[in-house]
């Protein structure tokens, strides 16, 4: 494989990764969760439910999608799990969209 083809393949891979991240962020509730985590900081599901007024199971599904994409991670503290944004790229996108 010549150098130019290799470079193109890396660009396609990177573009695909970015597109997948944008698909995860494209849901309004996931964007809202990400924005909240950046604005408030670490947060648990109960606190999110209090502010979002949607079922805890729905929030948990969105958190699972964000977590599986590597955008957030949870840290257990007793029976609670506190979530935070760990993807610098996702953080830049959300901050750009909302000026957080």
Task: State pTM to two decimals.
Answer: 0.85
SS3 71: coil
SS3 43: strand
- How high is the pLDDT of residue 53? 93
- How high is the pLDDT of residue 13? 85
Q: For residue 98, is pLDDT > 70?
A: yes
Mean predicted confidence (pLDDT) in 18-27: 96
Taking the C-alpha atoms of residue 45 and residue 82, their distance in angstroms, rounded to an integer, is 8
Task: Give the range of the structural domain holding residue 31, as residue numbers without chain letter.
Answer: 3-98
- How high is the pLDDT of residue 6? 64
- Which residues are 82's β-sheet partners? 75
Number of domains in the chain: 1
Which range has the worst mean pLDDT, 4-8, 38-42, 65-69?
4-8
Closest CA to 80 of 45, 31, 38, 42: 45
CATH of residue 82's domain is 1.10.10.10
- How high is the pLDDT of residue 12? 83
């Amino acid at each position: 494989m010549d150098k130019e083809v290799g470079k193109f393949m890396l660009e396609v891979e990177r573009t695909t990764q970015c597109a997948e991240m944008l698909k995860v962020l494209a849901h309004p509730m996931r964007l809202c969760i990400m924005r909240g985590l950046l604005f408030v900081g670490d947060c648990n599901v109960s606190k999110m439910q209090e502010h979002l007024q949607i079922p805890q199971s729905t929030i948990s599904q969105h958190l699972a999608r964000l977590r599986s994409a590597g955008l957030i991670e949870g840290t257990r503290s007793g029976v609670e799990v506190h979530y935070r944004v760990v993807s610098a790229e996702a953080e830049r996108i959300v901050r750009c969209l909302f000026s957080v």
